[in-house]
A and B are shown apart, each in its own frame.
Chain A
């Protein structure tokens, strides 16, 4: 700090605390709503203090779902599906991008730049702008209602490839020379030198891609009609849209809270990797 202005420092703290409250308030309301019974929720505005039905509500949604009025399966199953999707997307993206970046940086072969630009183009084609034809492709391949259909179309990633390319370019050439003198082939060099060096980049990317995979909404909405493959984020909207008839807000809010816990936990506990990943994928 440049000079001592106690009032300004106080004001800064006040603004930050206010910001924190505004940011946290919706989640607090959600938590409170998820600890009441249905009668309380029906009798006017949502309460401001937690109730006594925490355990009951959460075990209900986790293991038996919202009941007959909605078409959603138990939340435990949906969270399991989300976990599979998030892990498959995160790990799959990292795996295929790291080898593609390795090929582009360390080998000279015909059409190298063509491949590079083909990967680059995927940056410009988010799922949202080409949903109908992509859906047709997946349907024709018979991948609707399967984990493969949920994950594979989202696995190609230009940002991950760029990140690894950027990182490989910064790895000193002496390492490659030394490895070659010691008789290491390209695969061995990749496994024993590059992969260990990329550890922090991989961790950073994993955090970002896990969140990306977990939070997918439109894609699971399109490719899953079978409840066994619902993910939790898209499952919520199916509940909300019937909720006004059923008015089970307490249960819906419990599901909402459960849906945001895993990615939030990842961000909070892996904050260093998260910030690194965020900054680097935007380069």
Chain B
């Protein structure tokens, strides 16, 4: 945690940590404390007397059908994004690991979607499926399938899931590929000599050895789907139609900035913080183990 050889200066270390600590205090810890505080008060939108209400905001939250609906949407959304994101990128990574010629070329062409902002990814997909100009909506309608994500909630959810998955594939691909390349070739060769075919080798050797990477990616993807997909939702569906794509982070924003429900929004913030803290703890506990793996 600290060097054996250190410098003995009194003031300097404080000056060095000061900028980081100042920003952390002002923009992280103070606002978080405010959120916790506001979550136990009820306040009018125009200020006025705040009233201490214990956990009333939370009980109101968990009995609010809109909130529970948003929880369900978030679960469906993040499960789908995580599952498809991991599955597709695993297939691509296994294939890229197998080919010798062109592997780095494929890699170069598969990594760039990481650099595309979620909101931009949303616009790209929203355009292809736009009811009036989108190429896919045209094809779907032509083959007799009514496609209009502006009106149909299930279709809107499908669209944001597709955009979020597309956005996340390259990240997973890179980590899966790195994981695959670190598996000792001797193990695979030994299995091949024992007569195991490619499929069998994948299920009994490669996949188990890849499971630490997969678990790490699982956590990261859930975090991503929970918190970093705000842009997609906001740019494509605005949570609609009829709240069909209103995930939790979008609801916090919507209730706080549009609905001006301070207590409710703060309570939602606190719930989300608890989720992030839980996920971070899982991630770190696991990573400590991965180091020794």
Contacts and interface: CB of A to CB of B under 8 A. Distances in A.
Contact of B127 (A2, A30, A176): A30
Given A16-B99, A186-B7, A130 B273 contact: yes
A126 B224 CA distance: 11
B109 A132 contact: no
B76 interface: no
29 contacts: A1-B100, A2-B188, A3-B192, A5-B198, A24-B109, A30-B127, A45-B137, A99-B16, A100-B16, A100-B21, A103-B14, A103-B17, A107-B6, A107-B16, A122-B28, A128-B227, A129-B249, A132-B252, A132-B265, A133-B269, A168-B3, A186-B12, A215-B119, A218-B253, A240-B123, A267-B115, A268-B111, A275-B174, A278-B174
Interface in A1-46: 1-3, 5, 8-9, 11-13, 15-16, 19-20, 22-27, 29-30, 33, 41-42, 44-46
A207 B109 CA distance: 18
Contact of A236 (B27, B227, B235, B272): B235
A278 to B, nearest CB: 6
B29 A131 contact: no
A234 B123 CA distance: 11
Chain A interface mostly: helix
B259 to A, nearest CB: 11
B98 A9 contact: yes
A236 B32 contact: no
Contact of A136 (B28, B34, B120, B234): B34
B20 A97 contact: yes
Given A109-B13, A236-B120, A15 B188 contact: no
B78 interface: no
Interface in B119-136: 119-121, 123-128, 130, 132-135
Interface string B137-161: 1110000000000000000000000
A97 B20 CA distance: 7
Given A44-B138, A132-B265, A222-B257, A26 B6 contact: no
B120 A259 contact: yes
Counting contact residues on chain A (CB < 8 A from B), the size range is 35 or more
Interface in A167-208: 168-169, 173, 176-177, 180, 185-187, 189
B113 A119 contact: no
Given A12-B95, A137-B26, 11 more contacts: A2-B185, A16-B106, A20-B110, A104-B2, A115-B17, A129-B35, A155-B23, A217-B231, A244-B132, A260-B120, A283-B287
Contact of B276 (A118, A129, A138): A129
Interface of A: 1-3, 5, 8-9, 11-13, 15-16, 19-20, 22-27, 29-30, 33, 41-42, 44-46, 48, 96-97, 99-100, 102-109, 112, 115, 118-119, 121-126, 128-134, 136-138, 152-153, 155-156, 161, 168-169, 173, 176-177, 180, 185-187, 189, 211, 214-215, 217-218, 221-222, 233-234, 236-237, 240-241, 244, 247, 249, 252-253, 256, 259-260, 263-264, 266-268, 271, 274-275, 278-279, 282-283
A19 to B, nearest CB: 5
B116 interface: yes
A217 B269 contact: no
Contacts of A100: 16-17, 19-21
A187 B135 CA distance: 60
Counting contact residues on chain B (CB < 8 A from A), the size range is 35 or more
A217 B99 contact: no
A175 B7 CA distance: 13
Nearest to A5: B198
Question: Interface centre among B4, B34, B123, by most A CB within 10 Å?
Answer: B123
B174 A105 contact: no
Contact of B4 (A126, A173, A267): A173
